[in-house]
Amino acid sequence: MKHFFKRFSIIAALVLVVAVGASIPRPAQAVVSTGDVQTIISQVQSILASLAGILENIKSGSFAAAVLPTLPDTAQAPDGPFRFTSTLQRGVSGNDVRELQSMLLDIRGIYAADVTGYFGPITEAGVKEFQKAYGLTVTGIVDSSTRARLNDLEALPGRIIVKVRGGASKNAVDGLAKTYGASVKADLSQISSYVLEIPRDTRDAAIAGLSRHSLVARAEVDQLALPVAVPNDTNYASEWHLSKIGTPTAWDSAKGDGVTVAILDSGIDSTHPDFSGKLVTGWNLVDNNSDTSDVYGHGTKVAGVVGATTNNATGVASIGWNTKIMPVRVALTSGSAYISTIASGITYAADHGAQIANASFATLSSSATIQSAANYMKTKGGLVTVAAGNYGTLDSTPDTTSVISVSATNSSDVIASWSSYGPYIDVAAPGDSVWSTTNGGGYAAVSGTSFSSPAVAAVLALIKSANTALTNTQVESILKSTAVDLGATGYDQYYGNGRVNASAAVSAARAAVVPVPDTTAPIATVTAPTAGTTVSGSVAVNVTASDTVGVSRVELYANGSLVGTDTATPYAFTWDSTLAANGASESFIAYAYDAAGNKGTSPSVSVTVNNPVAADTTAPSVTISTP
């Protein structure tokens, strides 16, 4: 058995090396062929088919040794000389890469599981043994830089998210795209953004150029975000997480009635008996149709944590009890999803009545586009929960007020060994071996921050149903202030504000003072250009706006004429100064609005227009009229 796992770990390492290869510049000669990849696929499929019995042996204690915490960051030689250097070359299609990526997620789950077994370290000698056994060429072992390369698999073809300045028309964006040989793939109008599709080899140069353009506020790679599930094992008696966070007591006062949680994922199995009567109309943003069937199996598991039918003598109980579920498919068949599609899912949820949206994908907290979409949802009174990630390492992403980032705990109220952590963590929640629904009408214990995140979404639903008069700011504050402080006293980077406590949160919500109507207007300031500046050509106008609840939109006017509207930070506009007379004084005023309709007015900023006057090279025309 030890030899099996040593071999298995080597295969996993090779699969990761192959999967990452698509994003690295390649020499002309082939190193790993399509046939090699198919051989690996066959071997991995055979291994996966045998894992159920093997894991049972491990759990029963038949094999004892140290557990390797997380494959990507620890699968390297201790002295570090044999690290990832180069990867597969030509001869492998994008579909091969994506299939291997999908398998990798399953393989990673074995390493991240909290079980006892032999996971021998991956060494150079081990890789050479694998080469000899399978006749393949291996070019390196993964290291801590692998995750960034894996996230860059979207590079076939390249995709860019461009946030334009207010006042930029769709025609202008189309023209801008053509300049870089790109085409507009999607319109994220709610957050003033567009998705451009561009050849991979020109993507980075295009981002650099677009970032400097007067019409553009921001340009970033439209990366693929990975689902963060760690598959495990078949209901109420096994659901330790419900009692751990005080859900049974919370249910005495609130069951999530009247609250809808959008599940932004791979879809949901609507035929599952535990979703009978629980789903509201959603949308498939990948294929742009109403088919929200689960194409990968991840979304059904996530949804079950939030809203599987409870007290029906069937399957599992969910934290949300009567909470409704809105299926929004954002993931490809590989389980991964483009950042832009997830952002569209958030705005779709906000526009279609969901009070909470959950996205169980890694690295979302660091995306400016996701933050813009989450801020848009907050202006609609909603909240967004996201998974911290399953890399078991420190992520230095700074904290953001846009989303609620969730780490995972186990049944001992300790951070899971595979849960990512850092200053961006807001709260922790159970995510290790929690029972949920699966595709095809089944049930299983699942692990990952993919499931701690929807647990928090469900607790938010209970809070909202306990006191419908609460603002989203109050709901989030109650979630954090009632969390059980674990680890270091006060806030820490593992548990954030603590492990959520549904019972205490619902009690606090019921006792909370009903907020007075919001009558406070936002504060707006035109920060550029500065007063007294002389301007010409296309003028970049920047505005800052803040509000006690949230800014819903900012409008910019030049001498009383609307320049444009922006709904997401940074509030940026472009004004064509050639529309004004040369030497004229133009005054910029910004108006910021909140969800309650309050309007804040910025101080006026006046500038002088001085566009170059073209030299007069046309001779006068003379006509003799008489005699």
For 45-91, the pLDDT digits (tens) are 454 444 434 444 433 433 222 222 222 322 232 222 222 222 322 33
Q: Which of 76-85, 177-186, 239-248 has the lowest mean pLDDT?
A: 76-85
Give CA–CA dist 195/182, Å, rounded.
10
H/E stretch holding 438 reads strand 434-438
88 vs 13, residue with greater confidence: 13
Which stretch, 21-25, 169-173, 514-518, has highest mean pLDDT?
Answer: 169-173
Work out whether strand 585-594 and strand 599-601 pair parallel, antiparallel, or are unpaired.
antiparallel
- 187 catalytic? Reply is no
Mean pLDDT to the nearest integer, 142-156 = 42
Which among 365, 450, 465, 577 is annotated as catalytic? 450
pLDDT score, position 2: 34
Secondary structure class of 35 (helix, strand, coil): helix
Largest Cα separation within the chain, whole Å, is 120
CA–CA separation, 76 and 123 (whole Å): 7
- Name the pLDDT band for 115 (thresholds 50, 70, 90): very low
Which CATH fold topology does 157-222 show?
Answer: Alpha-Beta Plaits (3.30.70)
What per-residue confidence (pLDDT) applies to 79? Answer: 28
Residue type for 7, please? R
pLDDT per residue over 302-350, tens digit each? Answer: 999 999 988 776 778 889 999 999 999 999 887 889 999 999 999 999 9
Return the percentage of the chain with pLDDT > 70, whole number. Answer: 72
Residue 256: band (very low, low, confident or very high) from pLDDT cuts 50, 70, 90: confident
How would residue 285 be classed by pLDDT, with cut points 50, 70 and 90?
A: very high
Say which DSSP state 567 is in: -
DSSP state of 144: T
235 within 8 A of 491, measured Cβ to Cβ: no
- How far CA 123 is from CA of 44, 78, 105, 504, in Å, comes to 19, 8, 21, 49
Domains of the chain, residue spans: 2-144, 157-222, 230-511, 523-609
Mean pLDDT rounded to a whole number for the chain: 77
Three-class SS state of 467: coil
CA-CA-CA-CA torsion for 358, 363, 369, 373, nearest 10 degrees? 10
Q: Identify the bridge partners of residue 405 per DSSP, sorted by sequence position.
A: 386
Q: Per residue in 395-431, pLDDT tens?
A: 888 999 899 999 999 999 999 988 999 999 999 999 9
Cβ of 218: how many Cβ atoms within 10 Å?
A: 21
For residue 263, the cross-strand partners are 327, 358
The residue among 603 and 71 whose pLDDT is bigger is 603
Q: What are phi and psi of 169, to 5 degrees?
A: -85, 165
> Using the 8-state DSSP alphabet, how is residue 415 labeled?
B
Question: Would you place residue 132 in the very low, low, confident or very high pLDDT band (cuts 50, 70, 90)?
Answer: low
* Over residues 524-528, mean pLDDT: 96
Secondary structure (3-state) at 369: helix
**Among 127-136, 187-196, 276-285, 371-380, where is mean pLDDT lowest?**
127-136
pLDDT confidence of residue 27: 29
Rounded CA-CA distance 561/588 in Å is: 9
Token representation of residue 313: 């003598």
DSSP line for 342-399: HHHHHHHHHHTT-SEEEE-BTTGGG-HHHHHHHHHHHHTT-EEEEE--SS-SB--PPP
- Helix, strand or coil for residue 571? strand
Tokens representing 496 are 């954030």
Question: What distances in angstroms separate CA 19 from CA 50, 52, 129, 186, one per listed residue?
Answer: 23, 25, 21, 27
At residue 618 the predicted structure's pLDDT band, cuts being 50, 70 and 90, is: confident
Look at residues 137, 172, 132, 102 and name the one whose alpha carbon lies nearest to residue 14: 137
Sign of the torsion formed by the C-alpha atoms of 94, 100, 104 and 106: positive
In the chain, what are the helix, strand and coil shares in percent, each to the nearest 5?
35, 25, 45
Q: Which residue has the higher pLDDT, 595 or 186?
A: 186
The one catalytic residue in 114, 143, 265, 566 is 265
Contacts of 38 by beta carbon, 8 Å cutoff, 6+ apart = 96
**Beta carbons of 589 and 557 less than 8 angstroms apart:** yes
- Which residues have CB under 8 Å from 224's CB, separation 6+? 151, 153, 154, 332, 336, 337, 338, 339
- By three-state DSSP, how is residue 620 classified? coil
* Whole-number pLDDT of residue 510: 93
Most confidently predicted of 180-184, 387-391, 494-498, 577-581: 494-498
Specify the residue for token string 């809105």.
Answer: 326
SS3 541: strand
450 belongs to the catalytic site: yes
Please state, in angstroms and rounded to a whole number, the distance separating the CA atoms of residues 532 and 606: 6
Residue 178 pLDDT: 93
In this predicted structure, what is the pLDDT of residue 612?
86
pLDDT at 242: 80
Catalytic site residue 241?
Answer: no
Taking the complete model, does pTM exceed 0.75, yes or no? no
The predicted model gives 512-532 an average pLDDT of 89
Q: Looking at residue 568, what is its pLDDT?
A: 83
- Out of 96-110, 245-259, 588-602, the most confident range is 588-602
CA distances from 127 to 8, 91, 135 (A): 11, 22, 11
Residue 121 pLDDT > 60, yes or no? no
- Residue listed under structure tokens 């991995």: 44
Percent of the chain residues past pLDDT 90, beyond the cut = 50
Mean pLDDT of 463-469: 95
User: Would you place residue 283 in the very low, low, confident or very high pLDDT band (cuts 50, 70, 90)?
Assistant: very high
Stated as kind and residue range, the H or E segment containing 57 is helix 34-59
Tell me the fold of 230-511: Rossmann fold (3.40.50)
Distance separating alpha carbons of residues 330 and 292, to the nearest angstrom? 9
Per-residue confidence (pLDDT) for residue 128, from 0 to 100: 52
DSSP assignment string, 197-245: EE-GGGHHHHHHHHHHSTTEEEEEE-PEEPB--EE----GGG-HHHHHT
Residue 21 has pLDDT above 80, yes or no: no
Local confidence band at 572 (pLDDT 50, 70, 90 cut-offs): very high
Q: What's the confidence (pLDDT) of residue 276?
A: 92
CATH: 2.60.40.10, 2.60.120.560, 3.40.30.10, 3.30.160.620. Which one for 523-609?
A: 2.60.40.10
